[in-house]
Amino acid sequence: MLKQERVDYILGKLQELYPQPPIPLQHKNPYTLLVAVLLSAQCTDERVNKVTPALFQLADNAADMARQTPAKIREIIQPCGLSPQKSKAIAGLSKILVREHDGEVPADMELLETLPGVGHKTASVVMSQAFGVPAFPVDTHIHRLAQRWGLSSGKNVTQTEKDLKRLFPKQHWNALHLQIIYYGRECCSARGCDGTVCEICRICYPNRKHAKKTRKA
């Protein structure tokens, strides 16, 4: 199967399986999404969703969160891991949003990336899921599957993002990002599939006999 044939098949299959993929992190506005995405670094979405109700009961907007101490925030978010850094980042970015953006999350990739604890992936998620701006955040699931499906050389997530943006039409990026994540979790996980087990891997590479080794992000 040629690369474009794989691209077309994968896009069609994922749209069939996940026609309207929900955003996995529970939130109610761009600010709570930003905080939830920040907390999800090296942590599962499931655990984040267990922690955020208590956090957002304490403060669900930048102004209220800016009045909290990092220590108070850390008490709540500790189960998510990296709580010292994450609590400082949440407190810090909240103060910046109040001081420089009237308490609102800016719909601007470059401005988002200047906030404490907000890297390119986090900013991309917020731009795509909160503001509907086409973006293609690459996490470990997407990085792994892009290699298994022969869509990227996969040397790093930056290269993977560039390759996927080049291959798939922009209007599909936001949904496709979520669709690949769901498929990676449910059908083509790191341990559940080695590039020869799941349906997409088998259809794209029917003659593959050995496990596909993937470079870590």
Active site residues: 121, 139
CB hemisphere CA count around 109 (13 angstroms): 13
d(CA 165, CA 22): 21
Coil, strand or helix: which one is 171?
helix
Looking at residue 80, what is its pLDDT? 96
> Using an 8 Å Cβ cutoff, are 150 and 3 in contact?
yes
CATH of domain 3-21+136-204: 1.10.1670.10
CB hemisphere CA count around 68 (13 angstroms): 25
Q: Mean pLDDT over residues 134-156, rounded?
A: 92
Q: How confident is the model at residue 217 (pLDDT cuts 50, 70, 90)?
A: low
Write the pLDDT tens digit of every residue in 195-206.
Answer: 999 999 999 999
Q: Which CATH class is domain 30-131?
A: mainly alpha
Radius of gyration of the chain (CA): 18
Q: Mean pLDDT over residues 106-114, rounded?
A: 97
pTM score: 0.92
Contacts by residues 116-119 (CB-CB < 8 Å, ≥ 24 positions apart) = 116/88, 116/89, 116/92, 117/38, 117/85, 117/86, 117/88, 117/89, 117/90, 117/92, 117/93, 118/34, 118/38, 118/89, 118/93
Write the pLDDT tens digit of every residue in 158-199.
Answer: 999 999 999 999 999 999 999 999 999 999 999 999 999 999
Whole-number mean pLDDT of the chain?
A: 95
Cα 55 versus chain centre, distance: 20
Q: What is the largest CA-CA distance in the chain?
A: 59
Pull the structure tokens for residue 100: 């420089």
d(CA 127, CA 109): 7
Pull the structure tokens for residue 198: 């799941």
Domain ranges of the chain: 3-21+136-204, 30-131
